[in-house]
Amino acid sequence: MERLKGKVALISGGARGQGAAEARLFVGEGAKVVIGDVLDDLCRKTAAQINASGTSKSAIALHLDVTRAADWHAAVETCEREFGGLDILVNNAGIANAKGLEETSEEEWDSIVNINQKGVWLGMKSAVPAMRKRGAGSIINISSIYGLIGSAGSTAYHGTKGAVRLLSKSAAIEYAADKIRVNSIHPGIILTPMLGVVTREELQPLIDATPLKRGAQPEEVGWCAVFLASDEASFVTGSELVVDGGYTAH
């Protein structure tokens, strides 16, 4: 399958979880990928695994702290220097905090807003000029079902993921003339290391409330990102793709 043939993607938080799954699927569909993360060793390992499964170098790992503009510039520059340009950005990096409004310290608030919200803005700001040079682009911002609905006990996370939803819609309108599509994905319960912020007892009710009665593998989000990244989604912009086993359908 070559749904992303000739395209170059930059994926933040690509060392593990959904970002790593997206990198594997994108390369399987013919793309070149640059994966950035703060987990440098794991990121290099993930890229090496991807390259070991193919015949040419298709994945590059680099250090990318999404809160730092200089790291973003270096990542975009790597896409252009090593693979000739940038067509797809997946703003996937994120952290969760399972703390209530009053329990959240100012430091924790700043950290989650900087990574989940400012990081998405900085990523788009850095990628757009490179996409303009290519004459088109696809930006996929990973929000959450918690960017659509509320729940008790993680207000900071909800705030950032709600912001990602409207950052995406606004950017979709702003860059439509440049043929840069911007969409958000809203995953439900996805079986990645991030779920470590909740206990098994806290997780079960969330699975029980999911009509499909299970959590998803990261690839089940990854295939949705493949679609949005590909030319199959040529008329899809400003949209929110919910991937939650029916959780928010109630």
| Residues of the shown chain interacting with ligand NAD in the complex, contacts defined by CB under 6 A | 12-13, 15-19, 37-39, 64-67, 92-96, 115, 142, 144, 187, 189-190, 192-195
Q: Where does 67-193 have alpha helices with state H? A: 69-83, 106-113, 119-134, 155-174
Identify the active-site residue in 146, 157, 175, 247: 157
Residue number, 126 or 144, with CB nearest to ligand NAD: 144
Residue 3 CB, shortest distance to ligand NAD, in Å, is 22
Whether the CB-CB separation of 224 and 23 falls below 8 Å is answered with: no
Residue number, 213 or 234, with CB nearest to ligand NAD: 213
Residue 5 CB, shortest distance to ligand NAD, in Å, is 25
Residue number, 15 or 61, with CB nearest to ligand NAD: 15
Measured CA to CA, the distance from residue 129 to residue 80 in angstroms comes to 11
Residue number, 178 or 240, with CB nearest to ligand NAD: 240
Other CB atoms within 10 A of residue 179 CB:
15
Residue 229 CB, shortest distance to ligand NAD, in Å, is 16
Residue 192 CB, shortest distance to ligand NAD, in Å, is 3
Residue number, 23 or 190, with CB nearest to ligand NAD: 190
Structure tokens belonging to residue 229: 């990244």
Residue number, 189 or 233, with CB nearest to ligand NAD: 189
Listed in sequence order, the residues at least 6 apart from 82 whose beta carbon sits closer than 8 Å to its beta carbon are 32, 34, 60
- The residue among 231, 229, 151, 150 whose CA lies nearest residue 185 is 229
Measured CA to CA, the distance from residue 142 to residue 229 in angstroms comes to 13
Give me the sheet containing 180-187, strands edge to edge: 59-63, 32-37, 8-12, 88-91, 137-142, 180-187, 240-243
- The residue among 102, 180, 191 whose CA lies nearest residue 141 is 180
Residue 116 CB, shortest distance to ligand NAD, in Å, is 6
Residue 104 CB, shortest distance to ligand NAD, in Å, is 16
Catalytic-residue membership of 146: no
Structure tokens belonging to residue 31: 């793309």
Measured CA to CA, the distance from residue 76 to residue 126 in angstroms comes to 7
What DSSP assignment string belongs to 170-198?
A: HHHHHTGGGTEEEEEEEE-SB-SGGGGGS
Active site residues: 157
